Amino acid sequence: MIVRVRRFDPAGRARRGRWQDYRVEPRPMMSVLDALFWILEHDDPTLAFRYSCRAGMCGSCAMVINGQEGLACARRLAQLRSPVSVEPLRSLPVVKDLLVDLRPFFEKYRAVDPFYVGDEASLLGPAPEPAAVPSGDPSRTVVDRQIDCISCGACYSACPVVGLVPDFLGPAALNRAYALAADTRDRAGAERRRRVAEDGGVYACHGVGNCVTVCPVGVNPLLSIQLLRKGAIHR
């Protein structure tokens, strides 16, 4: 099996990127991440990539595989057309080879205050019971799915608007804003809605839908953006 890796070395000769082919000995159930480790151990110890959990849960190994964003640990080599091309995520600066600098992604993520804000009165008084939303509550129908985001950056990479509009917050940050704003316990919903209605927020989205296609955990950021826009309309 041929694995074709897009090599980048911003400090060296491969500043603009070049393809390099590696012949990998396939094994049963071998993932793309396993193939990259095989290359690292048997062929080229200079290959750089990021990984962590190896189980499709952390999102660290997101990259572009055969032209489509996905998690290297979750894509089986046997299910891919040979040669298997592997590139770093798009719209992010490359540190080396498949390793990208995720700071622009997380800076935009931070812009929506991606944390839960509880009721201030209850926080100042004696410790109450933890706030809970019952499992059958209708507000859970959409929110439950949208909180599964693992912040891998695949949607950010697949979105053409991120590449065209430098201020655009991107699908992941807006999805996070919706998941929190739609939480009935959250007390910062109005502030979040106001921020995402600014330039670079939900009105910069063109409904392309690549974010929905590539999400490795089935989140639908486009739906979050649409629902936030309706919230912005009705506020």
Partner 1 sequence: MSTRSYLFNCCAKARFIDKPLRPRRAETGRQALTWYYLRISGALMVALVLVHLFLMHYAAAPSTTTSAFVTARWSATGWRAFDGVLLLLALTHGLAGAHGMVRDAVRGPRARAVVDAASIIVGAAFAGLGVAAALSGSPHRLADPPAAYGWVPGVLIGSLVGVATVTYAAIAAVIVVLGWRLARGEPIGRWSYPGQWAFALNRAAGAGILAFLLVHVIDVALFPFAPALYDRTVAAYAMPYLAPMEVGLVAAVLYHALDGLRLMVLEALDRRATALGTPSFVALLVLTATLSLPALAVLLGWRP
Q: Which residues bind partner 1 (CB under 8 A)?
A: 4, 19, 64, 66-68, 83, 85, 87, 90, 107, 110-111, 113, 115-118, 120, 122-124, 127, 130, 142, 158, 160, 164-167, 187-188, 191, 195, 197-201, 203-204, 206-210, 212-214, 220, 223, 226-227, 229-230, 232
Say whether 26 sits in a helix, a strand or coil: coil
Q: Torsion angle of alpha carbons 214, 5, 101, 200, nearest 10°?
A: -40
Instruction: Give, in degrees to the nearest 5, the angle at Cα 69 between 94 and 145.
Output: 120
Sheet strands (E) in 68-117: 68-71, 84-87, 94-96, 99-100
Smaller CB separation from partner 1, 74 or 227 = 227
Q: Least separation, in Å, of the C-beta of 11 and partner 1?
A: 25
Q: Least separation, in Å, of the C-beta of 200 and partner 1?
A: 6
CA distance 171 to 223: 10
Q: Least separation, in Å, of the C-beta of 228 and partner 1?
A: 11
Smaller CB separation from partner 1, 54 or 161 = 161
Q: Least separation, in Å, of the C-beta of 142 and partner 1?
A: 6
Smaller CB separation from partner 1, 36 or 204 = 204
Smaller CB separation from partner 1, 58 or 165 = 165
Q: Amino acid identity of 130?
A: P
- Cβ neighbours of residue 18 closer than 8 Å, sequence gap 6 or more: 6, 7
